[in-house]
């Protein structure tokens, strides 16, 4: 059947317009921005933020001063120092457990001591030198006659609050909260920070990543890729389980001996 000229013209116009819009949209889509040095670190660490690795930008850390801000993210269990608005260092921390949570807020370092010992937490030994309380609180636990309380070592101590919360060298398990409220740091990180910071250095503790955190986009994309991979894995498993079972050779062939016995 012959089409009306007007219909033919309209169809051609719509096709051309669609092609132009499609081409234009392809041309105007900007390429994804190139990842920064820090974003590459975050993207490359499969288990970040639970990675045990320490990140440092050599050029930025050289410029770090006692005024360079430190951020502690409780959800991520990571600490970061910024220089010129960029991440100069990123490291794992272990903060306070649920019964002794690390307080959030804006703090400043009040006091520093390289060889600090806790007056509150430690161990209690009896008169024979045997440890009888491994997680002692000097305010609650009683020292037996002839025994002693030995405070826990807290090297590279940087006090943040008047009631004893601070940053110091301690056992760190990436992604886990372990302390009585303090912010535990790997020893190499604690020593480095102790050398950079001073009384007055700002420390901000937040639940979620700080507002200036630059790798949120990278983390979101990683989460998306992980979810997609898990979905593909589940779909493949479901497809395999839905396939009919293949009988083995012994299952497919009748037992000829039984048949002969019954026949006899």
E strands within 175-243? 183-185, 202-206
**pTM as predicted:** 0.77
What ranges do the domains of the chain cover? 63-114+162-217
Residue 172: CB atoms within 10 A of its CB come to: 23
Taking 50 as the threshold, does the pLDDT of residue 21 lie above it? no
H/E element, 6: helix 5-28
Condensed to tens digits (0 to 9), the pLDDT of residues 38-88 reads: 999 999 999 999 999 999 999 999 999 999 999 999 999 999 999 999 999
User: Which pair of structure tokens corresponds to residue 108?
Assistant: 């400043």
Q: Say whether 167 sits in a helix, a strand or coil.
A: strand
Q: Choose the CATH number for 63-114+162-217 among 3.40.50.10260, 1.20.1600.10, 2.40.440.10, 3.30.465.10.
A: 2.40.440.10
pLDDT of residue 161: 97
In the predicted model, what is the mean pLDDT of the chain? 87
Query: How many Å apart are CA 243 and CA 42, to the nearest integer?
Result: 40
């Amino acid at each position: 059947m012959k089409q009306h000229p007007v219909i033919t013209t309209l169809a051609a116009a719509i096709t051309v317009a669609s092609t132009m819009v499609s081409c234009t949209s392809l041309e105007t889509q900007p390429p994804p921005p190139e990842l920064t040095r820090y974003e590459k670190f975050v993207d490359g660490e499969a288990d970040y933020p639970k990675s045990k690795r320490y990140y440092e930008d050599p050029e930025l850390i050289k410029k770090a001063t006692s005024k360079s801000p430190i951020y502690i993210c409780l959800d991520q269990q990571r600490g970061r120092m910024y220089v010129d608005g960029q991440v100069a260092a990123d490291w794992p921390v272990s903060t306070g457990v649920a019964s002794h949570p690390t307080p959030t807020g804006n703090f400043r370092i009040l006091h520093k001591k390289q060889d600090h010992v806790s007056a509150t937490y430690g161990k209690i030994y009896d008169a024979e030198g045997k440890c009888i309380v491994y997680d002692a609180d000097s305010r609650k636990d009683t020292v037996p006659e002839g025994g002693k309380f030995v405070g826990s070592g807290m090297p590279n101590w940087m006090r943040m609050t008047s009631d004893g919360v601070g940053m110091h060298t301690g056992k760190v398990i990436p992604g886990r909260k372990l302390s009585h409220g303090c912010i535990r740091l790997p020893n190499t990180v604690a020593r480095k920070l102790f050398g950079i910071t001073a009384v007055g250095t700002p420390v901000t503790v937040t639940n979620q990543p700080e507002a200036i955190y630059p790798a949120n986009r990278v983390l979101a994309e990683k989460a998306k890729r992980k979810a997609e991979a898990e979905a593909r894995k589940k779909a493949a498993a479901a497809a395999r389980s839905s396939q009919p079972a293949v009988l083995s050779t012994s299952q497919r062939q009748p037992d000829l001996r039984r048949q002969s016995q019954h026949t006899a």
